Amino acid sequence: MIAIDWSGTLTGVRAAWRREISAYFATPLAYVFVAIFLLVLGIFTWDLSRFFDTGAADLAPFFYWHPWLFMMFMPALAMRLWAEEANQGTTELLLSLPVNLPGLIIGKLLAAWTVAALALVLTFPWWIAVNILGPADNAAIALTYAMSLLMAGGYLAIGAAVSALTRSAVLAFVIGVLVAFILTAAGWPLVSGAVADLLGPSAGDAIAQFSFLTHFETAQRGVLELRGLAFYFGFIALCIALNTLFVSHRRGGAQ
């Protein structure tokens, strides 16, 4: 059982956030991440979804790709968070600090989330474009952006927790993408339909409820569901708890 000492959490959050932000922007990592994300999202929205051919003043063709791109990009952003600490031997430094572990874990996650938020903010030209095309439902767009950010946090939480399992950032990325793919594809009609055919409609629905895709699609329709919020926040909390467990395990002597 893990005894969590919540005092000192904020100190840990602040220190870890600053450290990770510095690490992201001291190297080309954050810049490259943001640039490639914007480029790929732009190509997918423009070319594959034929954004301007739809003639509709909404961002559905743009948001459609978010879960699928986050599934790849967020584990890439989070893969080094703990794997690199283990690889460089700095886990020992962190564990010797007078802060509690969940604070460090939350701080690191928030730093990655900040970079993801920056990438999302830089997609604002799409929002402007859709308003030029015609009268857009800006409240629904704002809600979908907010849920997209929350969903990004979920994918990052997977990547961060998985990165605490290994010294290899590449391995953390591969496992992170695999887990993220399962949690995305579970809501894909092809998958949930196949499960429903095999095990019955209730099983298909149950599987879909564990998917990021399902809860994000609800938000895309302009509906704010408490169930969706609870799903994302609950999932992130679960990943933080698992991340704490994995890093705490190193206190017991695991290398």
Q: CB under 8 Å to 44, separation ≥6 — which residues?
A: 65, 69
Residue 102 vs 204, nearer CB to other proteins: 102
97 lines the binding site for other proteins (CB under 8 A): yes
Residue 23 vs 229, nearer CB to other proteins: 23
Least Å distance, CB 65 to other proteins, is 31
R_g of the chain computed on alpha carbons: 19
Q: In the stretch 10-39, what mask flags binding to other proteins with x, by CB under 8 A?
A: -xx-xx--xx--xx--xx------------
126: nearest Cα among 47, 35, 58: 58
Instruction: Kindly give the residue spans of alpha helices, DSSP state H, lying in the chain.
Output: 9-26, 29-43, 51-54, 60-63, 66-78, 80-88, 91-95, 101-121, 124-133, 138-163, 169-185, 189-199, 201-209, 212-220, 226-251
Q: In the stretch 37-76, what mask flags binding to other proteins with x, by CB under 8 A?
A: ----------------------------------------
Residue 7 vs 202, nearer CB to other proteins: 7
93 lines the binding site for other proteins (CB under 8 A): yes
Is the sign of the CA dihedral 49, 129, 218, 230 positive or negative?
positive
| Half-sphere exposure of residue 167: CA atoms within 13 angstroms, side-chain side | 9
Distance CA 61, CA 49 (A): 6
Distances (CA, A) of 23 to 16, 29, 54, 92, 239: 10, 8, 41, 18, 22
Q: Single out the segment in contact with other proteins by CB under 8 A; choices: 5-13, 48-56, 70-78, 110-118.
A: 5-13
Specify whether the CB–CB gap between 147 and 219 falls below 8 A: yes
Least Å distance, CB 96 to other proteins, is 5
By CB under 8 A, the residues from 213 to 252 that bind other proteins are 251-252
Least Å distance, CB 88 to other proteins, is 6
Least Å distance, CB 91 to other proteins, is 8
1 lines the binding site for other proteins (CB under 8 A): no
202 lines the binding site for other proteins (CB under 8 A): no
Which residue ranges make up the site for other proteins (CB under 8 A)? 5, 7-8, 11-12, 14-15, 18-19, 22-23, 26-27, 88-90, 92-93, 95-100, 251-253
